[in-house]
Every structure is written in C-alpha cells, then in structure tokens.
Homo-oligomer: A and B are copies of this chain.
Amino acid sequence: MPDIIYLLEMIGVVAFAISGMIVAQQKNMDPVGVFTIGFVAALGGGTLRDLMMDNHPLYWIKHQEQPILILVMALVFSYAGLGKRIRESRIVFPDAIGLGIFSILGAQLALDLEHSWFIASLLGVMTGTFGGALRDTLCNEVPFIFRKDQIYASISFAGCWLYFVCQWLLESETLALTIGLLFIVIVRMAAVRFDIRLQRDSHH
C-alpha cells in the first residue's frame, strides 16, 4: 500500500511540475524560472500544508529525490523546448490524479495530527490547490481556481468529505482512499469534459 501511495504521489508531482513548466515556457522564462515554477506548482501545496501544521522536516526536504527530479525535468524542458510542444490538454488526467492524491493525503495527515474533519478538509484542499494558485500568481495571471472555470477546489473539498465518511463507515483506510481518489479524478475529468461550473458568468 505505501508503495502505491508513493507512486501516485510521484505521478501528481510530475503532472503538477509539467503544468508549471508549460506556463513558464509560454511566458518565455529561462531555465531558472522553469525550475522555480515547476517546483512551486509541484511542491507548493505540500509545503503550505506542512507549515500550517508545523510538520517538519518539510515534504520536499525529506524526499529530496523529488526536487532533484524536477531539476532534471526543468533542464530537459528548457533545452528541448518541450513546454511549447506539449498540449495542455494532455496533462488534464495526471493533473486530476495529483489533485486527488494530494488532497486526500493532506487531509489524512491533518487527521493523524488530531485535527477535526472540517480543518482536515481545508488543509486537504490547500494541499491540492495551492501549488497551482501560486504558479498562476507568480506568472502574473489571475489564479485558475479563482476564475469561473470548471469546478476544481470544490471537487477536492467534496472528495475529502467522501473520504472521511467512507473511512468512518467502512473502517478501511485503503478502500476509503480508493473511493475518494476515484471520485476526485472522475468528477474532475467529467467537469472538464462537460464544462461543469459552480456559477455561470452573468455577462453571457
């Protein structure tokens, strides 16, 4: 089980890092900028979560293979100009996995530290979405999660609560994690596919 979780985490980190590097290259940043935005997108959520809960050493300090991987990816991206060749639509699926796994593991860590379901769901959402918000802010765009775009943070919030309820009813963390993760991934893919939003823009 821990091996599968770590594999899912790695998929999330790589997907989020790629999303950051694509934006950074569209903004014509140099390799340092590509690495920084990739790092922030992939590891920013976990860093915020750890700081909020005073959980040290930070995730990326404990797992230094992850920033090393991001550094190698940034070099490849920069010198091969990958960021302008990968279509953003290709990362929707790994990004959804990252959103799911980061949200649920962030929430679980909060439960381990004896926080309530409500606080844990907020910390789960922060873990899942903060990296992307910081990526957009640093690239001088209105963060994705604040635009009236397809639902994103609310799926993470609902997925965390589904996970808590399943864990409580089924008394199996593995089964609960699977259900919560599948829920977030499937609903997120459906939201993009069928353009589901919380609120229509009133100007249309």
Instruction: Mark A residues whose CB is within 8 Å of B.
Output: 24, 27-33, 36-37, 47, 51-54, 56-58, 61, 64, 67-68, 78, 115-116, 118-119, 122, 137-140, 142-143, 145-148, 151-154, 197-199, 201-203
Contacts and interface: CB of A to CB of B under 8 A. Distances in A.
A28 B201 contact: yes
Given A36-B145, A61-B52, A31 B119 contact: no
Task: Enumerate the 8 nearest inter-chain pairs by beta-carbon distance, A residue then B residue, closest first.
Answer: A33-B146, A54-B56, A32-B153, A30-B198, A30-B148, A30-B199, A29-B146, A31-B198
20 contacts: A24-B146, A27-B146, A28-B202, A28-B203, A30-B147, A30-B148, A30-B198, A30-B199, A31-B199, A32-B145, A36-B145, A37-B146, A53-B56, A54-B54, A61-B119, A78-B199, A137-B138, A138-B143, A139-B142, A140-B142
A51 to B, nearest CB: 6
A27 B203 CA distance: 12
A57 to B, nearest CB: 8
Contact of A197 (B27, B30, B143): B30
A32 B142 contact: no
The oligomer's copy count stands at: 3
A84 to B, nearest CB: 10
A64 B154 contact: no
Nearest to A114: B57
B118 A68 contact: yes
